Amino acid sequence: MKRIVEACYPSTNEEAIRYWHDIQPVKFGNSVQWAGTTPVTLAHYPVPPDSAYMLILRVECYTTTFTPGAPGFGQFSPPPPAQAKWVYTDVASFTGNSYPVTPVEPIHILLDTDEYLFVKGGDIASLIANPGPSPDAATRFIRTLVYGYLVGALIADRIGTNESTYFGSSQEGAGLSPLPPIPPATP
């Protein structure tokens, strides 16, 4: 939380305290079986509608197996070589459509790195991956933990001005349409 407050560059202690009280830490994640080539949800969290945003700061992920005698039994191993992306689902629309927050990237780019990724309140944030087949016949699991923070508009306004809230619009890979030029002011 201290890093978030420092990223807001408070000018006084009172301002830093206001930022501090505008943050609520949240940890969430999932443990899924690594099997086949079907996409899996590594993490999933419905952002409360009364929160302005959820700020995703760090994601940790590893694989393990509980099969006795299998290589890596009970040990933490790196995440699978996969493609992954963050998506959001607009709960209010009831359509179940997911929209990209990040582009599809190799999984190591989205994991174990620090970033400021914003998801609006009232949406469901999900980390989706396509891990491919397991390297052997042992039953393996992919475990993910996300460190997020529910933040208000006060913080989002300070540190979110240079961040993209969503990667695309209604279709995968589609960019946002440009805004029309602002007409010159008239006296």
Range of the domain at 49: 2-159
Assess if residue 184 is contained within a domain. Answer: no
Render 17-46 in DSSP notation, one character per residue.
HHHHTTEEEEEEEEEEEE-TTS-EEEEEEE
Provide the mean pLDDT of the chain.
Answer: 78
pTM given for the model: 0.77
Assess if residue 174 is contained within a domain. Answer: no
For the stretch 133-155, pLDDT in tens is 877 777 888 999 999 999 988 88
What's the domain count of the chain?
A: 1
pLDDT attached to residue 150: 93
Nearest by Cα to 62 from 86, 25, 35, 29: 29
Q: What is the CATH number of the domain that holds 17?
A: 2.60.120.680
